[in-house]
Structure 1
């Protein structure tokens, strides 16, 4: 499998503060499943922000889909971002829209016609087991239901890569298992999946998944030592 992501000596700092991420060098294989682990404040969210192009690094090279993402012209960013689905810990559903409308939003923004859109949204609602909640607004949905709607919205464009930030942090263990099953089934269809989590109990639920551990902004190998670049992760 080809690399879908390549980091080379990447560092990230906010303003004049010390680096949040330092000397990250790794590769992610297309079609693989990765867990990013680490304690709160270790740098997991900052790493994900680099992956879904919400943040540019302070130094180093990031190649995404075979292209240099650091020097990518702003005009090409929207097209790149449509190739990446993002699931946020706080869901970020629009409160004035129904579940159906939240899921449909990426397709509407991309200019799809309503007939094509309706079939895709209904399919996503069925996939996450919420066909009967299409007209519900976020405030009337449970935390697990909101997260499943957020996942459906993230993948309706059939992204090549899905990035999820602590997706099970606000749900009970049973719902966490259900959400992880959705990610695993999406991965089996060929999508590269990257899940940041501090819940180590999740790691054994996806047998083929790789683990990337971050401590104080640096990648740590399974022995507890710093990973030496170039480090490549894959199945």
Structure 2
């Protein structure tokens, strides 16, 4: 594979895959020979046919799976020999938007979004302020008390996004986030991801929606076919390097 995904030069890398493979049990590898790097502050679109292994690759990125061979480096940490006790701290730096939302139905939108902060031990005052700001950011301040079963698909997805980013992750991973919404809502969701990216978060979005990718300036295309990254066209759009916006800046 050509080094189309590596920004190279003096870019700070947040992810590095070196000859990575993944298999489940004794089955054939679902991912093989993955060699690519993601730069800090980049916006990446992961595409490819169904069954190509996109969800499995995302699981490697958010540490739900570990490679069965090769070297994966995340936030400068080589995961080859890292102990399990070190994984929670790394996972706290990652936000995840699942295709099926994974909201807790008996909790309100507000409490779903607050959950990561409560687990991290933040005070109620800090949580209330942060959740209010995040729900406003995704346009759901008037639905804060609603529970997921009463929300539309687009509203549930926005709650899931708010929950994923409320901890200010360094890396955001989204699995087909526009798959369950109409085209207008899909465009709005992509704009939310792009806005977060402009603040410095590295964003990886798995999607089939080529139109939305083409409408998003600065995105870099990665295509997965038969378990490995290929260069689809060579026409990749490299975003300018963005300085990270520190909290309180």
TM-score > 0.5, shorter chain as reference = yes
User: TM-score w.r.t. structure 2 length?
Assistant: 0.89
Cα offset, 1:234, TM superposition: 5.7
Length, aligned pairs only: 227
CA distance in 2, matches of 1:91, 1:72: 29
Please say if residues 218 and 238 of structure 2, whose CA atoms lie closer than 8 Å, have aligned partners that are also in contact: no
CA RMSD of aligned residues (A): 1.2
Matched, 1:26 2:8: no
Q: Are 2:172 and 1:184 aligned?
A: no
Q: Shift in Å at residue 223 of structure 1?
A: 4.1
Unmatched segments (≥5 aa) in structure 1: 225-232
Equivalent residues of 1:8, 1:24 under 8 A apart: yes
Q: Does the 8 Å contact 1:37/1:213 carry over to 2?
A: yes
Query: Are 2:115 and 1:105 equivalent residues in the alignment?
Result: yes
Deviations along 1:71-111, one digit per CA (max 9) or x if unpaired, are 22111111100100000000000001000000000000000
Are 2:177 and 1:167 aligned?
yes
Q: Deviations over 1:114-153 (max 9, x none)?
A: 0111000000000000000010000000000000000000
1:207-218 correspondence to structure 2 within 5 Å? 207-218=217-228
Query: Partners of 1:161 and 1:194 in 2: how far apart?
Result: 8
Bigger relative contact order (CA 8 A; separation at least 6): 1
Partners in 1 of 2:75 and 2:29 — Cα distance?
Answer: 26
Q: 1:143 aligns with which of 149, 153, 170?
A: 153
Normalised by the length of structure 1, the TM-score is 0.94
What does 1:188-203 correspond to in 2, within 5 Å? 188-203=198-213
Q: Which runs of structure 2 are paired with 1:214-229 in the superposition (5 Å)?
A: 214-223=224-233
Work out whether 1:129 is the aligned partner of 2:147. no
Runs of 4+ off more than 3 Å: none
Query: CA–CA distance in 2 between the matches of 1:178 and 1:217?
Result: 30
CA separation in 1, counterparts of 2:161 and 2:30? 28
**Where in structure 2 are there 5+ consecutive unaligned residues?**
1-10, 240-249
Q: Aligned ranges for residues 35-54 of structure 1 at < 5 Å?
A: 35-54=45-64
How many Å separate the matches in 1 of 2:232 and 2:176? 21
Give the Cα–Cα distance (whole angstroms) in 1 for the partners of residues 52 and 208 of structure 2.
Answer: 10
Partner of 2:98: 88
C-alpha distance in 1 between matches for 2:80 and 2:171:
18
Q: Is the 8 A contact 1:40 1:198 kept in 2?
A: no
